[in-house]
């Protein structure tokens, strides 16, 4: 009798639940500006261990990177044992992490840092460790119990799996586990996550993996790795999808991993123009002063972390010089000139000819120095370069960059 009276209400209840997806998806308020931190993969791949990660945490504090905003320490692939336990739980590799993940997270938190882990939407991770497919809610409960703050979720061994469904399921699992965890979708852009992932995660990869070269592609069987400029070129048309709480991710930083000083500056500058997450991938324990200066440049970081959250875009490309523009808060703009060529380029820029209008994820903005005069500051040297009332005459070295902040006079 009771069941007969309740039965008609069940379809209504189910309908209400499906009308409330926000209650089951990502945590809000975790990425009002692009996340900043460090990830183990670019330098160490699976050769990671407890002491290494503690040493990196100590280095990020001692170097001033924590104070500059780099707060997430993320363990990438290779942190777990090759098999789940008898109850189906992920197990930290006992040789690499003898005190477990919760203790390591506590160490990070004691330093004022946040802690992240990696897994994969497929049946295995890219390096062949246990993937999450079929274990989403169980894994999410463990991440929450271990006090994890960030999850990078990859896309290997995913044949036959629907990307939107897989990432939405994991997002719901994290939400149900109850601990606010920043969710990074590492789907490589093949299923256009920018079109559907804003309610699901806080950032999503837009391309395949980066590698520490300036302008080339490394081809392997079934996949490629891309240089800095190749990835930058792939960001065309994506600015409309990013904004506070949901960011396009052109992959981790290769600053300090073997490119020239000029190329490191250009790489970092373009990522800041793109409002990209800034996840360092170098060995912070042995970082040069030049690398540290790039990663902690206050003017560039202020551009990346600008609270307006508008992503920049390429405005022009003439004679191997790319001009990128980005609207900033308080009516300011950032303008970035990148020399893609192998020789220096002289630049003569008549500001009165500049008229950039485009839509970003937070609105439509117009840069028109003919109708508004701006003061110019070189973001790498802090030198004042005059104003847009006069043409700009300068030279940019090969593979180098000039980044200017334009402030309303």
Classify residue 266 as exposed, middle or buried by CB count within 10 Å of its CB (0-12, 13-18, 19+).
buried
For 73, phi and psi rounded to 5 degrees? -105, 115
Distance CA 41, CA 251 (A): 11
> How many whole angstroms separate alpha carbon 335 and alpha carbon 401?
10
Residue whose entry in the numeric block shows the structure tokens 């004679």: 319
Q: Which of 139, 154, 283, 306 is catalytic?
A: 154
Rounded to a whole number of angstroms, the distance between the first and last alpha carbons of the chain is: 77
Residue 231 has which token pair?
A: 């990835």
Distance separating alpha carbons of residues 381 and 299, to the nearest angstrom: 10
DSSP 225: E
Q: Where are the domains of the chain?
A: 24-304, 313-408
- Look up the pTM and report it: 0.93
Fold of 313-408: Immunoglobulin-like (2.60.40)
Per-residue model confidence as pLDDT tens digits over 87-124: 999 999 999 999 999 999 999 999 999 999 999 999 99
CA atoms within 13 A on the CB side of 286: 4
Q: What's the pLDDT tens digit per position in 27-56?
A: 999 999 999 999 999 999 999 999 999 999
CATH of region 24-304: 3.20.20.70
249 is a catalytic site residue: no
Catalytic residue, candidates 76, 77, 139, 209: 209
Q: Is the pLDDT of residue 229 over 90?
A: yes
- Which tokens in the block code for residue 341? 């060529």
Task: Please state the φ and ψ torsions of residue 378, each to the nearest 5 degrees.
Answer: -75, 120
Provide the pLDDT confidence category of residue 25 given band limits of 50, 70 and 90: confident
Instruction: Report pLDDT digits (tens) over 145-203.
Output: 999 999 999 999 999 999 999 999 999 999 999 999 999 999 999 999 999 999 999 99
pLDDT tier, 78 (very low <50, low <70, confident <90, very high otherwise): very high
28 is known as an active-site residue? no
Contact in structure between 129 and 76 (CB atoms under 8 Å): no
Q: What is the pLDDT of residues 350-399, one digit of tens each?
A: 999 999 998 999 999 999 999 999 999 999 999 999 999 999 999 999 99
pLDDT band at 18 (very low <50, low <70, confident <90, very high): very low
Phi, psi of 56 (to 5 degrees): -65, -40
pLDDT at residue 60, as a whole number: 98
DSSP secondary structure string, 141-169?
Answer: HHHHHTT--EEEEE-SS-TT--HHHHHHH
Query: What mean pLDDT is reported for the chain?
Result: 94
Contact status, residue 241 vs residue 194, Cβ threshold 8 Å: yes
Query: Using a CB cutoff of 8 Å and minimum separation of 24, what contacts does 236-241 make?
Result: 236/313, 236/314, 238/194, 238/206, 238/311, 239/310, 239/311, 239/312, 239/313, 239/358, 239/359, 239/360, 239/361, 240/359, 240/360, 240/361, 241/194, 241/195, 241/198, 241/361
């Amino acid at each position: 009798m009771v069941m007969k009276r309740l039965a008609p209400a069940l379809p209504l209840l189910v309908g209400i639940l499906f009308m409330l997806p926000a209650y089951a998806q990502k945590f809000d308020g975790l990425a009002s500006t692009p996340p900043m931190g460090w990830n183990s993969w670019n330098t160490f791949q699976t050769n990671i261990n407890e002491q290494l990660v503690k040493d990196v945490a100590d280095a990020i504090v001692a170097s001033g990177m924590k104070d500059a905003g780099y707060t997430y320490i993320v363990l990438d692939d290779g942190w777990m044992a090759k098999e789940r336990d008898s109850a189906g739980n992920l197990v930290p590799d006992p040789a690499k992490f003898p005190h477990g993940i919760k203790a390591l997270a506590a160490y990070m938190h004691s330093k004022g840092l946040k802690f992240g882990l990696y897994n994969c939407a497929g049946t295995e991770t890219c390096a062949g460790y246990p993937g999450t497919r079929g274990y989403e809610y169980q894994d999410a409960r463990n991440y929450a119990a271990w006090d994890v703050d960030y999850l990078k979720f990859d896309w290997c061994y995913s044949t036959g799996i629907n990307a939107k469904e897989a990432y939405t399921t994991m997002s719901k699992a994290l939400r149900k586990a109850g601990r606010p965890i920043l969710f990074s979708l590492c789907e490589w852009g093949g299923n256009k996550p920018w079109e559907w992932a804003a309610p699901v995660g806080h950032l999503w990869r837009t391309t395949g993996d980066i590698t520490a070269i300036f302008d080339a592609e490394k081809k392997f069987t079934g996949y490629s790795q891309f240089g800095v400029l190749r990835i930058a070129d792939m960001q065309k048309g994506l600015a409309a999808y990013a904004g506070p709480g949901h960011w396009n991710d052109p992959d981790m930083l290769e600053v300090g991993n073997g490119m020239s000083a000029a190329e490191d500056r250009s790489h970092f500058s373009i990522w800041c123009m793109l409002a990209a997450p800034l996840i360092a991938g170098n060995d912070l324990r042995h970082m040069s002063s030049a690398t540290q200066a790039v990663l902690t440049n206050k003017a560039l970081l202020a551009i990346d972390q600008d609270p307006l959250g508008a992503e920049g875009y390429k405005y022009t490309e003439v004679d191997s010089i790319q001009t990128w523009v980005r609207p900033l808060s308080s009516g300011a703009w950032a303008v970035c000139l990148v020399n893609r060529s192998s020789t220096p380029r002289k630049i003569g820029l008549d500001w009165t000819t500049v008229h950039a209008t485009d839509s970003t994820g937070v609105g439509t903005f117009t840069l028109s120095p003919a109708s508004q005069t701006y003061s110019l500051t070189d973001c790498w040297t802090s030198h004042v370069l005059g104003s847009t009332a006069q043409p700009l005459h300068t030279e940019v070295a090969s593979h180098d960059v000039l980044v200017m902040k334009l402030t309303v006079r």
